[in-house]
Structure 1
Amino acid sequence: MKLTINQKIKVNSLKNLIIQHPDYLHALETIEEAYLLKEQGDLPQSFLCIGQSGTGKSTLKSTMSKLYPRKSDGEREIIPVLTLDTPSQPTIKGFAEEMLIHLGDPLPHKGTQINMTNRILKLIKSCGVKLMIFDELQHFIENRKDPSKPSDVADWFKTLIEKSKVSVVLMGLERSHQIIDSNEQLRRRFSKTIDLRPFNLFDNNMRNSFLGILRKLDEEVGLPTRIDLTDKSLVKSIYFATNGIIDYMVKLFIGAYELALLNGEKYLSKDCFKSAFVNRIWNKGLGKLNPFEDDFVQERLDKVGMPFHLSKNAYSERISL
């Protein structure tokens, strides 16, 4: 049995679903405020947005680009929000080229460091940039012998930010704090931090948000029968299968939905979730390592080789609900 065209379209729509939970809305409001303060009051803001992969940083970035899209006034391109991923191995020239490309410079690879920097600053002004969002900040410290020491590219980047006189949001994984901590001026400028944390089922303040997202995902799937969110065992299994990370929650539900459609089921069964975990999240998640098996180890899957290795959590590994 295969999915119909309409079913495939529905599955694809779920991939683009944005769940507007409280932490996401707070982060979006803060970023938009930084944009508006520069646009309306010439008061540029700077802050750091930190979170594990899959917690919503890329979604925030794309949402801001959609809220304030590029446009042309006939003579030039207006770029209210400039978004850029830090190159995987950043150098001053490589970073400058990337910025010039995104700013529409006709010869982004040409010029000396000073010339390229001056062109970047000129284009930021002429293109009406109000907010710059730089993602993957951790690339500044990866592949370096001593991440605690400042680098030339970080110093250049800091100077560029200061001279741009626009609002700036730096995004990255938790270890991105190292690049800020290693530079006093950056530390002072980016003292404000937004932390996009995974949901924690065992934190009373976050539990309702986690359950609310499960409810929203189930509603968006739209099968005739809802999953039972009073089933503590099922809810805990979903939590361990996703580590509370929203991107994995969406992937798990999409995988379970596809299997339910193929099997002609009227709701997302435990067996659907069990197979979806293997297909969508961890292909080695079998037997005791599958949260939907009765003999699951009841531990977070964050050891070396597991899907959530390096995911931080302040709570103990063995937890009862």
Structure 2
Amino acid sequence: MKELCRRYPKFGTPNGFQHPVLYVHLVERAKLIDVYIGVLRALGDPAHRIGTEKELRYRTRDLLAAAGVKLLIFDEPHHLTEARSDGARLGLTQLGKSLIDDGLCVVFSGVKSVDDLVAESDELARRFRGKLILGPYRASNKTDIEILRTFCNVLGGRLKFVDPIALGTENVWFGRLLAASNGLVGVISQIVRQAESRARQAGDSQLKMKHFSMAWKNFSRSGEERLQHLKSVEGTRLIDVFAADDKTMMDIVGRLQHKG
């Protein structure tokens, strides 16, 4: 969601700001009026809390059209269902239906199942046909590996402070990034950016394995569960694949591929 907002930011026109992608986070124990307030606030309406629920609803529809919104993301709409408000839940999906009919793409993100939102109406359910599940790419899937290679090459080509590098094509880099990340592109991005920062601080124009190893020492202290596949045999530390030999790196990749 953050990446979509970053890639398609709002921009000014003679008629006001345009918002290709609009992100709205629903607060805990939200009510339906909070949905309209959230949309209006995201659109920059200074009077987003002023007016009755009906007035806010009409203003929301009008401003969404005027702002050129193409993709509207409602994050954590389950807060409506947790508040046990059937009216709020139905109102949100009714709003989503009308916006879809207006040509917008509406995404409910963070909800366990869209069925929780549209259980009251088959007509509404037909407007929300897909369920997207995000997860890591798999080391056992050839298609996933090719996607990861492409991603790493793009990432290596966008480095700003050191020379571009084919992180996905050259196995000496890609194998270690795959082993460290277990298919999570967010981990790859963070390690590469931190390695670039280390190289910049050292005054080096090219990324070297030592820069990745220095970045890894900082990154591995996070204690996140997604790094547990890098535990040593003794289980007391995480293996630094950027300082390890090729056999150790390939053993880790092999385990990931076998795990699937």
Using structure 2 for the length normalisation, give the TM-score.
0.69
Deviation at 1:265, TM superposition (A): 5.2
Deviation at 1:132, TM superposition (A): 4.0
* SS at structure 1 position matched to 2:171: coil
Per the TM alignment, residue 189 of structure 1 is displaced from its structure 2 partner at its CA by 0.6
Q: Is the partner of 2:178 in helix, strand or coil?
A: helix
Q: Unmatched 5+ residue regions in structure 2? A: none
The answer for the alignment partner of 2:137 in structure 1 is 199
Change over 3 Å in CA distance of 1:142–1:271 after alignment to 2: farther
| Preserved CA contact (<8 Å) 2:108 2:114 | no
Matching residue within 178, 189, 197 for 1:258 = 197
- Is 1:130–1:166's contact at 8 Å kept on the other side of the alignment? no
Distance change >3 Å, CA 121–CA 150, structure 1 → 2: same
Percent of aligned positions that are identical:
14
Q: Calculate the aligned-residue CA RMSD, in Å.
A: 3.9
Equivalent position SS for 1:288: coil
- Tell me the SS of whatever aligns to 2:237: helix
Alpha-carbon shift at residue 239 of structure 1 (Å): 1.9
Cα distance in 1 between the residues matched to 2:137 and 2:59? 43
Matched with 2:105 is: 168
Deviations 1:276-307 (A, max 9, x none): 134246434786324526478x779xxxxxxx
Deviations 1:26-60, CA, capped at 9 Å, x for gaps: xxxxxxxxxxxxxxxxxxxxxxxxxxxxxxx3222
Please tell me whether the aligned partners of residues 252 and 280 of structure 1 are also in contact (alpha carbons under 8 angstroms): yes
| Residues 181, 187 of structure 1: 8 Å contact kept | yes
The answer to whether structure 1 residue 245 and structure 2 residue 184 are counterparts is: yes
Measured in 2, the distance between the counterparts of 1:258 and 1:242 equals 19
Task: Give the drift of 1:254.
Answer: 1.2
Contact 1:252/1:281 (<8 A) preserved: no
- For residue 60 of structure 1, what is the amino acid of its counterpart? L
Contact kept? 1:229, 1:235, Cα under 8 Å: yes
Q: Residues 72-111 of structure 1: matches in 2 within 5 Å?
A: 72-73=14-15, 77=16, 79=18, 81=20, 83-89=22-28, 90-111=30-51
| Partner-residue secondary structure (3-state), 1:60 | helix
Query: What SS class does the counterpart of residue 47 from structure 2 fall into?
Result: coil
- On the 8 A contact 2:136/2:182 being kept in 1, the answer is yes
**Change beyond 3 A, Cα 1:210–1:83:** same
- Size of the aligned set, in residue pairs, is 237
What letter corresponds to residue 244 of structure 1 in structure 2?
G
1:166 aligned counterpart, secondary structure? coil
Equivalent residue number for residue 61 of structure 2: 121
| 2:194–2:215 contact (8 Å) kept in structure 1 | yes
Are positions 1:59 and 2:16 aligned together? no
User: 154, 164, 172: which one pairs with 1:216?
Assistant: 154
Aligned to 2:238: 289
Q: Is the 8 A contact 1:134 1:170 kept in 2?
A: yes
1:235 Cα shift? 3.1
Q: Which moved more, 1:127-136 or 1:88-97?
A: 127-136
Compared CA separation, residues 143 and 279, structure 1 to 2 (3 A): farther
**Which SS does the other structure have where 2:222 is aligned?**
coil
Contact 1:299 1:317 in 2 (8 A): yes
Alpha-carbon displacement from aligned partner over 1:181-207 (angstroms, at most 9, x marks no partner):
645444311104566654333311121
Distance in 2 separating the partners of 1:270 and 1:93: 53
- The residue identity in structure 1 corresponding to 2:59 is R
CA contact (8 A) 2:139 2:257 kept: no
CA distance in 1, matches of 2:139, 2:116: 31
TM value normalised by structure 1: 0.58
Cα offset for 1:252? 0.8
Higher relative contact order (CA 8 A, sep 6+): 1
Verify the 8 A CA contact 2:23 2:73 in the aligned structure 1: yes
Corresponding residue SS for 1:110: coil
Name the residue aligned to 2:90. 155
